[in-house]
Amino acid sequence: MPEKTIEERVREIIVEQLGVTADQVTPEAKFIEDLGADSLDTVELVMALEEEFGNEIPDEQAEKLQSVGDVIKYVEDTQKK
Amino acid sequence: MAPAIDKAARRTQAAFFFVARNSTDRRVVITGLGVVSSLGQTTDAFWKNVLDGKCGIHTISSFDPSAFDCKIAAEVKDFDPSPAFPNPKEIRRTDRFTQFSVFAAHHALLDSGVDLEKVNRDEVGVFLGSGIGGLRTTADQHGILLSKGPGRLSPFMIPMLILNMASGLFAMYQNLRGPNLATCSACATATHALGEAWRTIKMGDASMIFAGGSEAAVIPLGIGGFCAMRALSTRNDDPQHASRPFDRDRDGFVMGEGAGVLVLEELEHARARGARIYAEMTGYGNTADASHITAPSPGGEGAARCMRMALRSAGLNPADISYINAHGTSTPQGDIAETQAIKTVFGEGAKKIAVSSTKGATGHMLGAAGAVEMILCVKAIQCGVVPPTINLENPDPECDLDYVPGAAREMKVSAVVNNSFGFGGHNASVIAVKFNG
């Protein structure tokens, strides 16, 4: 089986954490407006991403991650380093 | 300006009069039941199993109990809370005790047949307590704190573990905006919830309240803590006979888990919607031993005052009571103290009353016990049969009442007392009677 891409891993975490369906998790989808997340959900989501990708996401950075696409891009950028 | 003040004063006076009249006139009936237990997750299954003398106690299966002095409990198995929750995310954010409570409240709601669209939701309340609350969440998160550090603690830890969250969430799910609180008085929790709900409806502050309690402490930390107190039975080789209230060979209680919720409703509100009325709730007693953190006061003095207070508020004489659902946890001291208290209150008549403890069957469900046992009381009134005390083979010489040993008994049940006593010296008794229009 081919290794999962970063995008696939991010989308799986979002589906699990926010209790939404995979087809809702489009790159444009915003966590609070479109996926029904509240402030506690976003904190937990950031923690789950940190667990999965093994790096710390600083608070000031986390605040900027408002859509699925933001997260995918951020993780791809940081994983390259 | 003077006339305006007079007018306001007159209004205040009138309001006081209105409340006073309401508090005496308003009657409270029970119109819905919901339960989660080791002996069933519907009221019908639970009632049948208790009447049949079944026991929900087995070797603990949810974790390996081999290191613990007590290896047995009455666990809830194959529990799926999803019918009571709006979505899976909500379930993931709740402790097991909240899942039990919300599930039982959901079933009580369905059982009551009320259409919430047709009632004033500002007058519908929720009083769901817990003895301990989210112990599982506390233990899990403490493990994370130690292994991964504070940065990995869940943002949901506090909302999950605080024991009022079941009341809060059920109100949110059903948009119930009336009086809302969570009682916490150890093993008397749910009976206090019923009593306070009864009083709130009588005072005119609610027309309907979902009242009860829940517990989910069958985890290593919970079992270990009660083991350390030497409170639990260690009859590990014979779990089905370990909880034996009033028997001379009893050696402690057995932990149970689950929840019980009853719908209490103002009589005219229930009548207006054509509700099925199970029974009328008429009395409530609430006293403190002020004696010891865990042991009952000598002679069951606090419990006796509590039953007397309940009788007084119900306007009943001791001779009017046909059945007592005892706290009867199967501890050496507690069962004797309660027996003494019953004799103090009921005198010569004590031996004519059917007294049973259903904890032989359910284990001790702690903060859920009072509500789960009230459901049995209500069914006893409705069906004319009282549940047995199982495993009572050789009565303790100091326990000499009619405990309905071994088998359920058909009899006329006109008025019942339901007792619950908690660590901290809390006593609660409530009274229900057959509804006679």
Domain ranges of chain B: 29-433
The answer to whether B395 touches B58, Cβ cutoff 8 Å, is no
B102 to chain A, closest Cα gap in Å:
19
B176 to chain A, closest Cα gap in Å:
22
Is the per-residue pLDDT at B150 higher than 90?
Answer: yes
What is the spatial distance between Cα A19 and Cα B69, in angstroms, rounded to a whole number? Answer: 40
Is the per-residue pLDDT at B7 higher than 90?
Answer: no
What is the spatial distance between Cα B126 and Cα B114, in angstroms, rounded to a whole number? Answer: 15
Neighbours of A27 (CB within 10 A): 13
Q: pTM of the prediction? A: 0.93
**What's chain B's length in residues?**
437
Residue B21 backbone zone (phi > 0: left; psi -120 to 50: alpha; other: beta): alpha
Are the Cβ atoms of A40 and B89 closer than 8 angstroms? Answer: no
**Cα torsion angle, B425, B186, B43, B362, sign:** negative
Chain A residue nearest residue B148, CA to CA: A51
Catalytic-residue membership of A38: yes
Tokens of B375: 């459901």
What is the spatial distance between Cα B166 and Cα B105, in angstroms, rounded to a whole number? Answer: 10
Neighbours of A52 (CB within 10 A): 14
Most A-contacting residue of B82, B85, B89 (CB-CB within 10 A), to test interface:
B89
Chain B residue nearest residue A20, CA to CA: B89
Neighbours of B199 (CB within 10 A): 15
What is the model's pLDDT at position A40?
93
On chain A, the residues whose CB falls within 8 A of the CB of B159 are 40
CATH class of residue range B29-433: alpha beta
Average of pLDDT values for B155-161?
97
Is the per-residue pLDDT at B18 higher than 50?
Answer: no
Is the per-residue pLDDT at B9 higher than 70?
Answer: no
Chain B residue nearest residue A14, CA to CA: B89
B152 touching A (Cβ < 8 Å): yes
A60 to chain B, closest Cα gap in Å:
16
On chain B, the residues whose CB falls within 8 A of the CB of A40 are 155-156, 159
Q: Report B:82-101 residues touching A (Cβ under 8 A).
A: 87-90, 92
Tokens of B393: 């083979």
Residue A40 has its nearest CB partner, among B151, B152, B155, at: B155
What is the model's pLDDT at position B96?
98
- The 10s digit of each residue's pLDDT in B208-260 is 999 999 999 999 999 999 999 999 999 999 999 999 999 999 999 999 999 99
- The 10s digit of each residue's pLDDT in B64-105 is 999 999 999 999 999 999 999 999 999 999 999 999 999 999
What is the model's pLDDT at position A80?
77
On chain A, the residues whose CB falls within 8 A of the CB of B92 are 19
- In chain A, the domains with their CATH numbers are 6-80 (1.10.1200.10)
What is the model's pLDDT at position B16?
47
Nearest alpha carbon to residue B68 among B234, B270, B251: B234
Residue A18 has its nearest CB partner, among B89, B154, B156, at: B89
Give B437's pLDDT tier (boundaries 50, 70, 90).
Answer: confident
Q: What is the DSSP letter of B296?
A: P
H or E, element range at B381: helix B369-383
What is the model's pLDDT at position B24?
64
Average of pLDDT values for B43-60?
98
On chain A, the residues whose CB falls within 8 A of the CB of B151 are 47
On chain A, the residues whose CB falls within 8 A of the CB of B87 are 19
3-state secondary structure labels for all residues of chain A: CCCCCHHHHHHHHHHHHHCCCHHHCCCCCECCCCCCCCHHHHHHHHHHHHHHHCCCCCHHHHCCCCEHHHHHHHHHHHHHC
Neighbours of B80 (CB within 10 A): 11
Residue B156 has its nearest CB partner, among A18, A19, A40, at: A40
B315 touching A (Cβ < 8 Å): no
Are the Cβ atoms of B154 and A44 closer than 8 angstroms? Answer: yes
Residue type, B46: F
- The 10s digit of each residue's pLDDT in B111-134 is 999 999 999 999 999 999 999 999
The answer to whether B166 touches B182, Cβ cutoff 8 Å, is yes
Cα–Cα separations (whole angstroms), residue A4 to B5, B33, B97, B291: 76, 49, 37, 64
What is the model's pLDDT at position B20?
40
The answer to whether B389 touches B404, Cβ cutoff 8 Å, is yes
**Cα torsion angle, A56, A60, A62, A68, sign:** negative
SS3 call for B281:
strand
Average of pLDDT values for B334-347?
98
Residues forming a β-bridge with B29: B265, B280
Nearest alpha carbon to residue B238 among B58, B24, B47: B58
Give B156's pLDDT tier (boundaries 50, 70, 90).
Answer: very high
Residue type, B116: L
Catalytic-residue membership of B187: yes
Average of pLDDT values for A55-60?
91
Of A23, A34, A38, A41, the catalytic one is A38
What is the model's pLDDT at position A79?
85
Q: Chain A residues contacting B, CB < 8 Å? A: 18-19, 40-41, 43-44, 47, 51
- The 10s digit of each residue's pLDDT in B288-328 is 999 999 999 999 999 999 999 999 999 999 999 999 999 99
**What's chain A's length in residues?**
81
SS3 call for B232:
strand
- The 10s digit of each residue's pLDDT in B364-417 is 999 999 999 999 999 999 999 999 999 999 999 999 999 999 999 999 999 999
Phi, psi of B61 (to 5 degrees): -115, -15
The answer to whether B163 touches B130, Cβ cutoff 8 Å, is yes
Strands B279-288 and B58-59: unpaired
Is the per-residue pLDDT at A71 higher than 50?
Answer: yes
A70 to chain B, closest Cα gap in Å:
22
